[in-house]
Amino acid sequence: MLVRMTASAINIERLWSLDDGTMCLLVDRVDAPRFEVCVVRGDDVLRQNRLYARGTAQMLAETWRMTLASLRAEVAEQHAIDSVHLARA
């Protein structure tokens, strides 16, 4: 996996991952703002932000995880509803 990031990193930590290959990385950088949060799937960067506080970066990452999980649940629910409608037709 190739993730393009702008400055040198001190540490890269995977905060979470989903079963579709989406993962969230927390990158600790030398220069400010020090903490970069990236959500990637394959070679695609889905979301990215740099913040000054590690705790804020972790909270943002968790918010993004919950948002993606919620969107996936809504899509799955809609597919189930569509299947029921097709079965009745």
* Contact indicator for 38, 45 with CB cutoff of 8 Å: yes
* Contact indicator for 2, 40 with CB cutoff of 8 Å: no
64 pLDDT higher than 60: yes
Q: What is the CA radius of gyration of the chain?
A: 17
Global pTM reads 0.76
Do the domain assignments include residue 22?
yes
Asked which of 16-25, 38-47, 60-69, 75-84 is least confident by mean pLDDT, the reply is 75-84
Domain count within the chain: 1
In the three-class reduction of DSSP (H, G, I as helix; E, B as strand; rest coil), residue 72 is classed as helix
Domain that holds residue 35: 9-88
Do the domain assignments include residue 77?
yes
Do the domain assignments include residue 1?
no
pLDDT computed for residue 21 by the predictor: 93
